[in-house]
Amino acid sequence: MLIAVNKAVSIDYTLTNDAGEVIDSSAGGTPLVYLHGAGNIIVGLEKALEGKRAGDELKVVVEPQDAYGEFSAELVAVLGRDMFEGVDELEVGMQFHASGPDGSMQIVTIRDLDGDEVTVDGNHPLAGQRLTFQVKVIDVRDAHAEELAHGHVHGEGGHHH
C-alpha cells in the first residue's frame, strides 16, 4: 500500500541538523505514527513520503520554509520581569503560553535573563534550520473512521486523548 492522504503511516526516523548532530530519533523506541495529509508532521517530510511504501528507506533534506519556518526577529521580545507575576524563579529555557502578534496563543521560551529584563523567543526551536531525516517506512494502512474524524492516528487499543 502506498502512502497517500488518509493513510496511517508508521516510520522510524533519525533527525539531524546541518552539523550532523542528532536532534531526535525513534531508534530504540516506538515508530512515529501519523495520519498522512492531516498536517501531523512537517510539510517537507510529508511531501517526500508521498507514494512510498513499507520497507522503503530514504534521506530527506527539508529546508526551513517546509519545516518550522524561517527565524523571525519579530518573535523575540524583551519584557520586564514583572510580566511573569506569580513565577518565583525564572530560568533560561522555561516556556510559557503567550498571546502572539495576531492574538493567537503561542509558546515562548526564555532565552536570556539580565536583571529585570527577560528575553523571550516565540520561534520554534528549529526555526531557520535545514533538517535532515533518515527514514524507514515501517507500515502503511487505511486510517480508521475515528482517526479521520479526529485528524490523527490513535494508539493501540483506540482513543488516547
**8 Å CB contact between 3 and 143:** no
- Residue listed under C-alpha cell 533534506: 61
User: Residues, the chain, total?
Assistant: 161
* Secondary element (H or E) of residue 84: none
Which domains are delineated in the chain? 7-68+127-150 (3.10.50.40), 73-121 (2.40.10.330)
pLDDT digits (tens, 9 = 90+) for 51-75: 999 999 999 999 999 999 999 999 9
Quick one: pLDDT at residue 156? 61
Confidence of residue 159 (pLDDT cuts 50, 70, 90): very low
Please give the distance of CA 146 from its chain centroid, rounded to a whole number.
23
First to last CA, the chain: 28
Has residue 86 got a pLDDT over 60?
A: yes
Q: Do strands 7-16 and 95-99 pair parallel, antiparallel, or not at all (unpaired)? A: unpaired
Residue carrying the nine cell digits 508521498: 50
61 vs 9: CA distance, rounded Å: 19
pLDDT band at 160 (very low <50, low <70, confident <90, very high): very low
Amino acid in position 129: Q
Chain segment 118-150, per-residue pLDDT in tens = 999 999 999 999 999 999 999 999 999 999 999
pTM for the full predicted model:
0.83
